[in-house]
Amino acid sequence: MAKRSIPPIVNGRVALRLLEERDLPMTRAWRNQDHVRKWFFTPDPITAEQHRAWFDQYARRDDDFVFIIEELATNRAIGQVALYHIDWNMRRAEFGRLLIGEADANGKGFARAATALLVAHALNELGLREVFLEVFADNVRARAIYARCGFVITARRENIVQMITQSNEGEK
């Protein structure tokens, strides 16, 4: 199945738009920053060739959507976030790849705004019932963002915390 189109998602502070080929140099640079990649399960630097190969596969998948986070006040790209491993039949997806790549945008609430916006979109507009994630237990900042956005811890193993948020559909 071809990748579906998702129009930009906007709230008061940020807009989320789908990753485009022109974004690859920027997203690779963000992802390769030491303070960013240390929080990824695969922390090795990514080459341009690896990033291109990943994108070529990504562009054909309908279960993986990376969004560029744009700060509305300046109309500039500042980070990324994703929904992936989407199971459209089971109506669930994994949340992740969250990063703020622009140093002057860190600590200003953009990651939280983007997380809340994408999770709400997944549960309310895409028809998903649950969104889950895995995060390093010592990534305190990320865990706090996720908790504020409705995620609850469901399991721990070694240095990994699993969290989930669900639609209210099951309560009806």
Residue 152 inside a domain? The answer is: no
User: Total domain count for the chain?
Assistant: 1
Task: Give the number of other Cβ atoms within 10 Å of residue 99's Cβ.
Answer: 25
Contact 72, 109 (CB under 8 A): no
Strands 152-157 and 160-166: antiparallel
Name 168's Cβ contacts closer than 8 Å, sequence gap at least 6. Answer: none
Residue 75 inside a domain? The answer is: yes
Burial zone of 144 (CB within 10 Å; 0-12 exposed, 13-18 middle, 19+ buried): exposed
What's 93's domain CATH number? 3.40.630.30
At 169, is the pLDDT very low, low, confident or very high (cuts 50, 70, 90)? low
Residue closest to 106 by CA, chosen among 141, 74, 155: 141
- How big is the chain, counted in residues? 172
Residue closest to 67 by CA, chosen among 43, 107, 99, 106: 99
Q: What confidence tens digit (pLDDT) does each residue in 37-93 have?
A: 999 888 899 999 999 999 999 999 999 999 999 999 999 999 999 999 999 999 999
Lowest mean pLDDT among 11-20, 85-94, 111-120, 163-172: 163-172
Q: Which domain holds residue 24?
A: 9-130
Please give the mean pLDDT across all residues of the chain: 94
3-state secondary structure of 77: strand
